[in-house]
Structure 1
Amino acid sequence: MRESAAERHDRLLGLVRERGSARVSDLAAQLGVSPVTVRRDVEELAGRGLLDRVHGSVSWPQGAAHAASAATAGPGGPGSGLVLGMLAPSSTYYFAEVIRGAHEAAARVGARLILRISDYRPREDQARTEGLLSAGAEGLLVAPGWQHPGDPAAFGDWIASLPVPTVLLERRPAAGSPLDGLDRVCSDHAHGVLLAVRHLVDLGHGAPLLMARADSPTAVAVRSGYAEALSVLGLRAPQDVIDSVPAELAPDAFEEAVRALREAVRSGVATAALIHNDVDAIQVVQRLAELGVRVPDDLALIAYDDEVAALADTPLTAVAPPKREVGRHATELLVERLGQGTDTPRRHLTLLPQLRVRDSCGAPLS
């Protein structure tokens, strides 16, 4: 099977972390790819603060080393050698900021964070986590690569029996399940959706349409949060949720979804929409313009995730989950758990998203 970019990034980060610094040409040889590919990878990882780069070489971020030297004593303090493991489904898009927050928090207490990426293949989560344990991880941050509602039951039982303290990241297992008894840190996506729906209603719109994916826990949470928000506000959905798919993977299905949204606007069914995620939202806005529907003139629109929403031609209002803070708080909780032992009560920490208002909702309706 061809190695994904996320897996290559994982290996690249591991090589640099082990060596402290490395030349791009040496990394290319070690990874078995071209120097152009490595330079592109390094540029992306450096942009997210995971590497430093200077004149053909890369190094582990100096900020991490500085933070480690300035940390106080205690679990993870100078010289403690504390190693934390992190399993993430991706090192890009949403989870890039989660990883960065975890990395910064680990560095502040002088701990080493090692990373494995599952590339949203939940069947591989257990093996990759065992790799973290073999590498010396004394505590784990785990964001399983679940994509579908049945995945926690099919690919999650092993997490509850891990031999070291474990904190779940951005995952809400079923109430009463063994995983529900673990520490966890999550974004409250239902609150984020409520912020978006309420903002559009306050501008004078009726209940907005939802166009959303169904291929991740965030997507599932956005869908359930939409139904909850409408109930809280006493609204009824103008029509069924429009299923969204990545344009590059299923162009025909993407086109069908965009045309369904255009028809809803043209027929007066809805004047506002919430779209998960913002990559899809940007592409939807572009295609709608080609079909004669303008944002925000004809359709007020809010995106969900706020990864690239501000970069659209018309900057998109977006719900921003506190991704970096999730990584930071989860790491701090794990370090605290390692210092306290297993007798203290477990915690479920929920962080609230923010609504970042830009141009795509337009002015209030008269």
Structure 2
Amino acid sequence: MRESAAERHDRLLDLVRGRGSARVSELAAQLGVSPVTVRRDVESLATEGRLDRVHGSVSWPGGGTTAPGPAGALAAPRPGVKPGTHPGPGPTGDTAADGRELVIGMLAPHATYYFAEVIRGAHEAAAAAGARLILRISDYRPQEDAGLAAGLLTAGADGLLIAPGWKEPDDPVEHGAWIAGLPVPTVLLERRGVPGRELDDLDRVCSDHGHGVLLAVRHLLGLGHRTPVLVARSDSPTAIAVRAGYRHALDALGLKSPLPVIDSIPVEADADGFEGAVRALRDAVVEGRATAALVHNDVDAIRIVQRLAELGVRVPDDLALVAYDDEVAALADTPLTAVAPPKHEVGRYAADLLVERLRAAANGHGDGEQTPRRHVDLLPRLRVRASCGAPAETTRQP
């Protein structure tokens, strides 16, 4: 079977991780492909921040031969900076204490779909503060987060915005402790630590997905529907939060779900699993057990609506549907009502909070210890369109 590009990338990363650095020609020989292919792969991986590239050679981010371990194994502060402190911006926020341009490092799991807008918000806030934002992408590989963060520090980051590449419920414990040991001010965004553990003491800015689910459920109930069915993924922190929010919303409203949560599976990952989810929802509608559904995420919702139509179930005539994410929901044949997390504002608030911490550090207040740490929850909005059968409007939350 022909090796995929992702598999080749994994082999390439393993080679560089083990050796620390390598020339393109050496990697081509080891991988059994042409130098042109390796250069193309290196370009892609370097853009994502997973490799450093210099004059025909590539190296592991941070310059070490292995990925950094937890806490203090990350890159040390630059010369002249005491351990445990870091140069911050001047009073105007546009330069570090030593006169350099302020640099904010950002680690995100992806640069498209949901996180594109988060990154854009952080970039705009950094620019408004006279700072430069540098970005690395983990591609949802939490085991590589620490190495990418080390690369950001080596590249000169004065503070970090961290959205780890967590996917599983246990990832914050298994792949998160190192974040608490970072030597610079750090803000988590769209991620929450486990209550009572190290990361719960960090600044964070998140969308309140539980509130977003509650908006959708209340809206559908207000249109006269019975308790909506949840169709959701389970492969990201947002998906896990949507599932938890659904349980809390039903408890708060004194409701019971008409059937268990239907597991949404991307059709490209498991065509049979996707078909099973669609048919479970179709059966619930035909049997009169469901008149409304909340679907995470937009892409799955659009595909589900298309397949339901082929199976004789029409949206919104037979089923009112609300999508979660509002990335592409408005572009469906029948524009989808959607919960819109405040992604842009999450990035902006997080960058503003980090700049505030860096200013405090520059003014001799450590990393901002004079000001309490903050957990900021921003409320999603419900954007009403044709898929729920209600007049189109935008419901704004304060």
TM superposition shift of 1:76: 2.4
Does 2:50 correspond to 1:32? no
Q: Could you say what secondary structure the match of 2:150 adopts?
A: helix
Does 2:131 correspond to 1:111? yes
Q: Could you say what secondary structure the match of 2:187 adopts?
A: strand
Pick from 76, 86, 89 the counterpart of residue 94 of structure 2. Answer: 76
Q: Could you say what secondary structure the match of 1:302 adopts?
A: strand
Residues of 2 paired with 1:76 and 1:147: CA distance? 35
Q: Could you say what secondary structure the match of 1:141 adopts?
A: strand
Q: Could you say what secondary structure the match of 1:360 adopts?
A: helix
Q: Could you say what secondary structure the match of 2:227 adopts?
A: coil
CA contact (8 A) 1:278 1:308 kept: yes
1:345: which partner in 2?
372
2:286: which partner in 1?
266
Superposition pairs of residues 162-241 of structure 1, within 5 angstroms: 162-241=182-261
Code of the aligned partner of 2:355: V
Instruction: Output one character per residue of 1:120-179: Cα deviation in whole Å (capped at 9) or x when no partner.
Output: 000000000100011011100000000010001100000000000000010111111110
Residues of 1 paired with 2:390 and 2:358: CA distance? 51
Residues of 2 paired with 1:197 and 1:109: CA distance? 39
CA contact (8 A) 1:122 1:144 kept: yes
Aligned residues between the structures: 307
Does 2:380 correspond to 1:362? no
CA contact (8 A) 2:91 2:359 kept: no
1:327: which partner in 2?
347
CA contact (8 A) 1:76 1:335 kept: no
TM superposition shift of 1:33: 3.8
Code of the aligned partner of 2:288: G
Instruction: Output one character per residue of 1:210-259: Cα deviation in whole Å (capped at 9) or x when no partner.
Output: 00000000000000000111111111000100001111111110000000
Does 2:342 correspond to 1:315? no
Pick from 286, 300, 303 the counterpart of residue 320 of structure 2. Answer: 300
Pick from 151, 158, 168 the counterpart of residue 178 of structure 2. Answer: 158
TM superposition shift of 1:30: 11
Pick from 53, 74, 90 the counterpart of residue 110 of structure 2. Answer: 90
Evaluate the alpha carbon distance shift between residue 239 and residue 347 of structure 1 in structure 2; reply closer, same or farther with a 3 A threshold: same
Code of the aligned partner of 1:181: D
Instruction: Output one character per residue of 1:33-62: Cα deviation in whole Å (capped at 9) or x when no partner.
Output: 49xx99xxx9xxxxxxxxxxxxxxxxxxxx
Residues of 1 paired with 2:337 and 2:305: CA distance? 13
Residues of 1 paired with 2:244 and 2:388: CA distance? 23
Residues of 2 paired with 1:189 and 1:122: CA distance? 22
Residues of 1 paired with 2:40 and 2:167: CA distance? 29
Structure 1's consecutive aligned runs of 4 or more residues displaced over 6 angstroms after TM superposition are none
TM superposition shift of 1:31: 8.6
Residues of 2 paired with 1:116 and 1:141: CA distance? 11
Residues of 1 paired with 2:390 and 2:231: CA distance? 22
TM superposition shift of 1:73: 6.1
Pick from 114, 138, 143 the counterpart of residue 123 of structure 1. Answer: 143
Q: Could you say what secondary structure the match of 2:156 adopts?
A: coil
CA contact (8 A) 2:163 2:188 kept: yes
TM superposition shift of 1:362: 0.6
CA contact (8 A) 2:162 2:187 kept: yes
Residues of 2 paired with 1:140 and 1:363: CA distance? 43
CA contact (8 A) 2:118 2:345 kept: yes
CA contact (8 A) 2:384 2:390 kept: no
Structure-2-length-normalised TM-score = 0.74
Structure-1-length-normalised TM-score = 0.80
Residues of 1 paired with 2:200 and 2:249: CA distance? 24
Residues of 2 paired with 1:118 and 1:264: CA distance? 38
CA contact (8 A) 1:77 1:109 kept: no
Code of the aligned partner of 1:361: C
Residues of 1 paired with 2:39 and 2:314: CA distance? 46
Residues of 1 paired with 2:92 and 2:9: CA distance? 39
Evaluate the alpha carbon distance shift between residue 2 and residue 327 of structure 1 in structure 2; reply closer, same or farther with a 3 A threshold: farther
Q: Could you say what secondary structure the match of 1:199 adopts?
A: helix
Q: Could you say what secondary structure the match of 1:328 adopts?
A: helix
Worse-superposed segment, 132-141 or 340-349: 340-349
CA contact (8 A) 2:93 2:355 kept: yes
Code of the aligned partner of 1:267: E
2:24: which partner in 1?
none
Residues of 2 paired with 1:314 and 1:73: CA distance? 51
Identical counterparts, % of pairs:
69
Q: Could you say what secondary structure the match of 1:163 adopts?
A: coil
Evaluate the alpha carbon distance shift between residue 31 and residue 88 of structure 1 in structure 2; reply closer, same or farther with a 3 A threshold: farther
Q: Could you say what secondary structure the match of 2:354 adopts?
A: helix
